[in-house]
Amino acid sequence: MTAPAVDQKHQEQRAAQATVTAAAVRALWMRTDPDDLEGSWLAQAAVAAELIRRGQLAAAGSSEPWLLAAVGEGEGTVDPEAAAAAAGDLTVPLVYPLLIALNRLRRGFSSAMSVLSGAYFLEMVTRTLVADAGRIADMAGMIARPRVVSYVRVVELPACPRCIILAGREYSLSDGFLRHPRCDCTLAPRRPGDTWRLDSPRALFEQMTPAQQRRSFGEAGMQAISEGADLGQVVNARRGMTTVTRYGRNVRATREGTTRRGLYGSRAAKFEKAAGARYARAKTPRLMPEEIYRLAGGDREHAIRLLRRHGYIV
């Protein structure tokens, strides 16, 4: 079966929010002046940051109404601001499209192609940041509801093969959420006595058209799976996936950018200032909800106290 109706609707709304925000930020980027990429994009940095932040707040703000309908009242109310802040610093997502575009120009690509390369990264990272803020809020809200004992990964087609083979898996609340850039999978809470089960990876594969199967798994992979091969043996589930949700600190782009003759370092400070001080990374890291639950050792009352201390619920 698919996810319960309330959880399925939540996923659809979350994916739509990420799409709308990414489109708005991309449109802003596409208005940059190809002859002055740095100056024109720098002038728009604060607007882009605000668009992303609004998308994150909208995504995180949907958690409480969803969980109220799905599970009921919690021991606290999720704070969308805290979830958005925990999703990571916005400096790297804002500066790196510029670095990509400038690098393409130096290598002889056309202005149009260079700008599109930056747009692709910006759209991808915006979708990820919005989805991450929502998932952080979801996790905090579930921990704040003692009736929730675990969560299940909700995967709806179309989806990438890495997500398909994780469909329907049940996880402890202390487990981080495996995701990749542009991942729009969500979480469904489980309580003692819940009997619903989500479609298995095999069931999702069988719902796909041959063209979709071929596109996701390749000709050989599709043939092997059709003949009975295990999806998990065909697809490397861990490739490109991570439990890290503080995107600005851990994205591979950060390491690459800092090694190119100081290009990132010379511009990051400008973008931090242009985007506004409130977007700068906090000096003291905020623990993620799943880490809080793990450290609490299963003591729900202590976990809820830590959620309050770290600002996730009020």
186-190 and 170-171 beta bridge pairing: unpaired
pLDDT tens-place string over residues 8-27: 899 999 999 999 999 999 99
With respect to residue 174, please indicate whether it lies within any of the assigned structural domains. Answer: yes
With respect to residue 167, please indicate whether it lies within any of the assigned structural domains. Answer: yes
With respect to residue 164, please indicate whether it lies within any of the assigned structural domains. Answer: yes
So what's the pLDDT on residue 269? Answer: 61
How many domains does the structure of the chain reveal? 1
With respect to residue 206, please indicate whether it lies within any of the assigned structural domains. Answer: no
So what's the pLDDT on residue 159? Answer: 87
The residues pairing with 313 across neighbouring beta strands, listed in sequence order, are 78
With respect to residue 201, please indicate whether it lies within any of the assigned structural domains. Answer: no
Could you say which residues of the chain have pLDDT below 70?
Answer: 1-2, 236-286
The residues pairing with 179 across neighbouring beta strands, listed in sequence order, are 242
So what's the pLDDT on residue 241? Answer: 63
Question: CA 153, 158, 163, 165 torsion: positive or negative?
Answer: positive
With respect to residue 74, please indicate whether it lies within any of the assigned structural domains. Answer: yes
So what's the pLDDT on residue 275? Answer: 58
pLDDT tens-place string over residues 133-176: 999 999 999 999 999 999 999 988 888 888 999 988 999 999 98
C-alpha span between 31 and 43 (Å, rounded): 11
With respect to residue 213, please indicate whether it lies within any of the assigned structural domains. Answer: no
C-alpha span between 122 and 135 (Å, rounded): 20
So what's the pLDDT on residue 44? Answer: 92
CB 246 within 8 A of CB 88: yes
With respect to residue 143, please indicate whether it lies within any of the assigned structural domains. Answer: yes
So what's the pLDDT on residue 229? Answer: 84
